[in-house]
Amino acid sequence: MPAKNIVVLVAGLLIIALTAGGVGYYQENQRLSSPGIRCRTIHGQVAVEVLLPEILPGYESVPLEVTQEELDMLPKDTSFGRRRYTAPDGLVFDLSVVLMGGDISSIHRPQSCIPAQGWTILDEDTDTLRIDGDNGYELPFNRLKNAKTVVINEQPVKAEGYFLFWFTADGKVTASRESRLLSTAWRMLTSGEVERWGYVSLNVVFPAGAADMVYPRAEEFLKTAVPQFQLPPTDRPPRP
């Protein structure tokens, strides 16, 4: 079994053991850490309003609805933020945040969801992006390059897309699922507190062959948008 799978298995079993071993205690005494995302509380609910920027220079934005399938599938205390940003030339960026409550199953693997939507994952790797500012830091993220044939005016057209994603919690940001699960297990073990992770993603679709032009624009979009909704991590290494 690959080392990454072993880490996920061990962390998952530890989380299950911690919760199952004291179900009553955790239900009555569960404490959630602060999220790493800017939010507004909703009276009487664990779920919160995720505050994605309504205004970004050079883009028009509209909110996107969460699908009924997602609402039915994910835990009821899951919070969502979702907006579509359109540039004057028609390029569209869909920005999404899925914020867990007390149940880690709010966060799912896009490697399973993307093929289910008819896309083929062509390549998968990681990258980093410098987020500037007084509390600047390196943002790590996963990058999936996808392809799909769509029909436009009754003609098949090849489309490609980038799906960029990472995870953020109170003072932390990571592209690693393994690190997220280990951090969750360790926090529960040492303090009894549940880290409230957010799963942040950016999706952009474009004509096949345009990746080299679109990817730099996705990076610039993130450099502008991320500081407006994501809190800077406190565990970042010093800048060289």
What tens digit of pLDDT does each residue of 77-129 get?
A: 999 999 999 999 999 999 999 999 888 889 989 999 999 999 999 999 999 99
Q: Which pLDDT belongs to residue 188?
A: 84
Q: Which pLDDT belongs to residue 2?
A: 57
For residue 72, how many other CB atoms are within 10 A of its CB?
7
Q: What are 32-80's pLDDT values in tens digits?
A: 889 999 999 887 787 889 999 999 999 999 999 999 998 899 999 999 9
Query: CA-CA distance, 90 to 88, in Å (whole number)?
Result: 5
Q: Which pLDDT belongs to residue 30?
A: 65
Checking if the pLDDT of 204 tops 90, the result is: yes
Domain ranges of the chain: 3-229
Dihedral of the alpha carbons of 94, 44, 232, 177, in degrees to the nearest 10: -70
| pLDDT bucket at 133, cuts 50 / 70 / 90 | confident
Q: Which pLDDT belongs to residue 23?
A: 43
Query: CA-CA distance, 57 to 224, in Å (whole number)?
Result: 8
Helices (H) and strands (E) in the chain, counts: 6, 12
Asked if 222 and 139 count as a contact pair (C-beta separation under 8 A), the reply is: yes
How much is the average pLDDT of 163-178?
Answer: 96
DSSP string over 33-57: PPPSB-EEE-TT-S-EEE---S-BT
